Chain A
């Protein structure tokens, strides 16, 4: 069975702190894709990153970085020097190459305090 676990329900930090959001996934498939989405208070879903299972290279995009480790089935997301605008719910999701369904974690609510 496939599953995505985001164990951190809510994280609260002060602005400018670094914060890491954890994502652990389960699948027996060898070809799959991992995603992170941001859902700000306005409710829309914003695509952040897509990573395929054959590419374990870490990715950095501005203050955002992602660490993909197949050995631990984790795809963690770090925000460096957090800002109030980063406050949102962040979802990790898994898509199998053999299936059209996106399997979502329950989300982590990130609160950045000024």
Chain B
């Protein structure tokens, strides 16, 4: 099925561990995004990539890095996980100006 695929769906990390969240879209969208959602809140933008080869910081970039590997893939890396990064992470893609954002199913990350 066409859409945005995120892996893994669940992850538990110990403080200080690193990991990479993977995201891929098959809709040929130029723009891709990483958001986090904390309980009782809307989503907050971590990083985005307007097009292949570019990345920019969003509202809450500290503690994260991203890589736009190609047009399809946009990964999010936590170099040294902290409990404050416990959240649900959503990847999204968009054909800018044409339609709404399409979101992946989310990754529930717990840092202990």
Interface size on A, as a range, is: 10 to 19
Q: Indicate whether A35 reaches chain B with its CB closer than 8 angstroms.
A: yes
Is the C-beta of B74 less than 8 angstroms from some C-beta in chain A? no
Known: A50-B99, A100-B50. A44 touches B58 (CB 8 A): no
Q: Are A102 and B103 in contact (CB under 8 A)?
A: no
Contact flag A102-B45 (CB < 8 Å), given A43-B88, A50-B99? yes
CA–CA, A84 and B16, complex, Å? 43
Known: A43-B105, A45-B103. A101 touches B59 (CB 8 A): yes
Q: Contacting A44 at CB < 8 Å: which of B56, B59, B101, B103?
A: B103
A104, CB-defined interface residue at 8 Å: yes
B78 to chain A, nearest CB (A): 20
B42 touches A104 (CB 8 A): yes
Q: Which residues of A contact B2 (CB under 8 A)?
A: none
**Nearest B residue to A105, CB-CB:** B42
B41 to chain A, nearest CB (A): 6
- Please list the residues of chain A having a beta carbon within 8 angstroms of any beta carbon in chain B: 4, 35, 37, 43-45, 47, 49-50, 91, 93, 97, 100-102, 104-107
| Those 6 A-B pairs whose CB atoms lie nearest each other, nearest first | A104-B42, A45-B103, A47-B100, A50-B100, A101-B45, A104-B43
